[in-house]
Structure 1
Amino acid sequence: MSSINNASVLVTGAAGGIGQALVKALDKAGANLILTDVNEERLKQVSSTMAKRPPFFVADVSNPTDRALLINFCEQQDPPLQMVINLAGINHFGALSDHNDVLLERMLMINLQCQIALCRDLLPLLSQNQPSTIINVGSILGSIGIPGYSVYCATKFGLRGFSEALGRELSDTKVAVRYFAPRATKTALNDARVNEMNAALGNKADTPEHVAEALLAFIETDKKRHYLGWPEKFFVRLNSILPGLVDNSFIKQLPTIKRFFQ
């Protein structure tokens, strides 16, 4: 499926920065939304500001019980679920030594493991409602390893690989798996240090609204993957064929990057 009008769409991380902008854009485009997030207060707020007052379900998708309850909730909705957009994620910038075991496990769980588990658990429902779509929202950092983001990159590289492999696994069905990769975005995921570092390096950052509109435009195409932003999409391609050139670029930037480590 490519048209969003009248489609039933589950959005995870719907109360986040990109999530809030995206559900507004989807609502305007005529989607029938189901919202989920771990933050009940913000989720209620998001739903209440929308004309259709879409149904929402508070869930921690890293929790198997919550996932099962969420899927049961989706099964009860009309029209039947046709699309899931996985937006849930967390970030941490700093040296690898700054990532303790608790943070490591949390990032791997939220950014990767629970995304995989949710796709697995939703597949029976999406298979019943073909044509259907899974859109995993990753990052440019899922294709380029950047100093200070070693763990975050690992999770996003993993999500990109999972999306690619699952898409090929399901290529004999009408369940499409697609991958969308924004660049730096002006949300609460980036703290003051990251914003200052991006400014020092001359890195551009998009607004959540811009990312939401680009994601909406991507949905309306048949493309399997999309990388947002220039020159970032160029560096994604360059890193895949001539990684040594990208290595040299980061070697030059490394003193500036490390200045912002905690």
Structure 2
Amino acid sequence: MINSIEGQPKKTAFITGGGGAIAEEIAIQLDKAGYQLLLSDINLEKMSAIQSKLKGKPEYFVCDQTNPKEIQTLLSTIQEKYPNIDVLINNAGYTKEGPFISQSKTDIERQMWINLMSPIHLIHGILPLMLKRGKGSIVSIVSIGGIIALADSSIYSAGKFGLRGFLTALYEELRHTGIKVSGIYPAAVDTPMLLHEALNGGTALNWLNKVQSPKKVANAVLLGIKKGTLEIYVPYSDGLVSRLVAVFPWLIGKLSPLLKIIGERSKEKWLRGKGIQIPKRN
């Protein structure tokens, strides 16, 4: 837990994907710690719905993170109004399920911009402010999908693999600057995006292990802000398994038939827990 100190100026945290379930949990915890919150999302209504759960009043920015001009406009505003920004949290993420050949040019570009290009651009615009002060924290929610590549998620994997590599290099570049860099690697998280995947052909491998709560991911983000650990896994055990598979990527193909059966059963159980019944397979 991050504690605020009485009498000191408020710290400022900027969270992308501000209308999502994970962003909400992060915002609640940082609000309790006394942070001034900046939230960005493409949907103002979703972002502002969190207001009743907060003591402070966030500043909301509507931004389409597939649009370079909108990203630059957002950065210019933050650079002008919040030059002493303390924390950047790249939380926004997007996936479009299905085989690579079925992905349209728009599908490809949307995933690559939201999952990789926009975090890089945002860091590029905000990092100089942190370097000038000699302190700050950059936390990006990556995904186990940035370590294990699965069928029907090729573009998502490409973006998340790229983000992991970028964060690893950036961590080394900033090692002695006072700037902390962390990547958060959750497996499946109980969010509307996961439900969409469950109902629209997302891989059953997401359900091999227990689905994590947004609060657990938020706890990992706060740990990243505090300690600057390069990679934080949610849960920790998934990090061990995923890194083993990353060394031997052919393991997924060999084990895939059995893992899919296990995953499908777990997914159906998870959906039933939400009151959603999946028709029985013949």
Q: Distance in 1 between matches of 2:207 and 2:92?
A: 27
Q: 1:234 aligns with which of 219, 232, 240?
A: 240
Counterpart Cα distance in 1 of 2:206 and 2:109: 31
Q: What's the CA shift string for 1:14-65, capped at 9, x where partnerless? A: 1112111211121122222111111111222223542111222222233333
SS in 2 for 1:177: strand
Q: Quick check: 1:47–1:55 contact (8 Å CA) kept in 2?
A: no
1:40 alignment partner AA:
L
CA contact (8 A) 1:71 1:122 kept: yes
Select which of 143, 168, 176 maps to 1:139.
143
Q: Which residue of 2 aligns with 1:203?
A: 209
Match for residue 110 of structure 1 among 102, 114, 117: 114
For residue 227 of structure 2, give the secondary structure of its aligned residue in structure 1.
Answer: coil
* SS of match in other structure, 1:112: helix
Residue 86 of structure 1 contacts residue 137 of structure 1 at CA under 8 Å; is this kept in 2?
yes
Tell me by how many angstroms 1:199 deviates: 8.8
Cα deviation for residue 255 of structure 1 reads 7.3
Contact 1:61–1:118, Cα closer than 8 Å, also in 2: no
Cα deviation 1:96-138 (Å, max 9, x = unaligned): 2221221011111111111111111222222223211211110
**1:164 Cα offset (Å):** 0.8
Q: Which residue of structure 2 aligns with residue 44 of structure 1? A: 48
> How far has the Cα of 1:3 moved from its partner?
5.3
Considering Cα pairs closer than 8 Å and 6+ residues apart, tell me whether 1 or 2 has the greater RCO: 1
Letter in 2 for 1:65: K
Q: Deviations over 1:184-211 (max 9, x none)?
A: 1111112133699649954321121222
Alignment of 1:174-253 (within 5 A): 174-190=178-194, 191=196, 192-193=198-199, 198=204, 202-229=208-235, 231-253=237-259
Unaligned runs of 5+ in 2: 5-9, 268-282
RMSD, aligned CA? 2.9
| Residue pair 1:67, 1:118 contacting (<8 A) in 2 also | yes
CA distance in 2, matches of 1:231, 1:148: 24
Give the CA deviation at 1:85: 0.3
SS of 1:220's partner is helix
Q: If the length of structure 1 is used for normalisation, what is the TM-score?
A: 0.86
Deviates more, 1:190-199 or 1:136-145: 190-199
Instruction: Say if 1:201 and 1:26 are closer, same or farther in 2 by CA, change over 3 A.
Output: closer
The CA deviation string for residues 197-252 of structure 1, in whole angstroms up to 9 with x for no partner, is: 64995432112122212322333224221111254212122123333434422254
Which consecutive residues of structure 1, in runs of 5 or more, have no partner in the other structure?
A: none
Amino acid at match of 2:210: K
State TM-score, norm by structure 2.
Answer: 0.80
Distance of 1:146 and 1:214 partners within structure 2? 24
Instruction: Write the distance in 2 (CA, Å) between the matches of 1:15 and 1:201.
Output: 24
Could you say what secondary structure the match of 2:50 adopts? helix
Alpha-carbon distance in 1 for matches of 2:108, 2:127: 28
Conserved 8 A contact 1:140-1:236? yes
Identity of matched residues, %: 29
What is the one-letter code of the residue matched to 2:29?
A
User: Residue 93 of structure 1 aligns with which residue?
Assistant: 97
Q: 131, 156, 162: which is aligned to 1:127?
A: 131
